[in-house]
Structure 1
Amino acid sequence: ESDTAEKAFSQAKAIIRANYSNPPAHGASVVTTILSNPELKEEWIEELTTMRERIQRMRQLLVTTLQEKGAKQDFS
């Protein structure tokens, strides 16, 4: 049993290593499609801006809340 488990573990490691070493190309294909189409690119930029601004607001809210609770650290 131990030998079988070791062989199975070795096979699993090889499969995992292959997945990390050769990621799927699907993501790159999606990016190429979006960046090659002006309308899709504009929509992507708008969505990116929305996400970036939300993250900034959430970070500021966190800092404000921590300071209201008495935190003295400089969070800049």
Structure 2
Amino acid sequence: MLKDQIDKLEMNEHKQIYSIIKKLSPQVTKTQNGVLVSTDTLDDDTLTEVERYVLFCLDQRKRMDDDMKTRKTYERMM
């Protein structure tokens, strides 16, 4: 589910998602606790763009983790 994937992201990535939503669908509500977005009001293009960004972030995180594991393996070999 998209919400679960978004919850895994860092604060700066959340800010980028907010920028995407605000750019494509400016119907957001700011509160002291954050930003509220009704997904019912988001069009398909906005949801698609957010989903693409989330998948990109998660993919990059996985690649970085894999790279770190590879580096540690090589460090142990030396």
Comparing both structures, which one devotes a greater share of its residues to helix?
A: 1
Give the aligned residue type for 1:60. Answer: D
Q: What is the alpha-carbon distance in structure 2 between the residues aligned to residue 47 and residue 58 of structure 1? A: 16
**Per residue, is there more strand in 1 or in 2?**
2
Measure the CA separation in 2 of the matches of 1:68 and 1:50.
Answer: 27
Structure 2: tracts of 5 or more residues without a match:
1-30
Distance change (3 Å), C-alpha of 1:26 and 1:33: farther
| Gaps in structure 1 of 5+ consecutive residues | 1-22, 72-76
Task: Give the alignment partner of residue 53 of structure 1, picking from 41, 53, 59.
Answer: 59
- Map 1:13-28 → 2, pairs under 5 A: 24=32, 26-28=34-36
| Aligned positions, number | 47
Q: How does the TM-score come out when normalised to structure 1?
A: 0.51
The structure, 1 or 2, with the larger RCO (C-alpha pairs under 8 Å, 6+ apart) is 2
Q: CA RMSD in A?
A: 2.6
Match of 2:69 in 1: 63
Identical aligned residues as a percent:
11
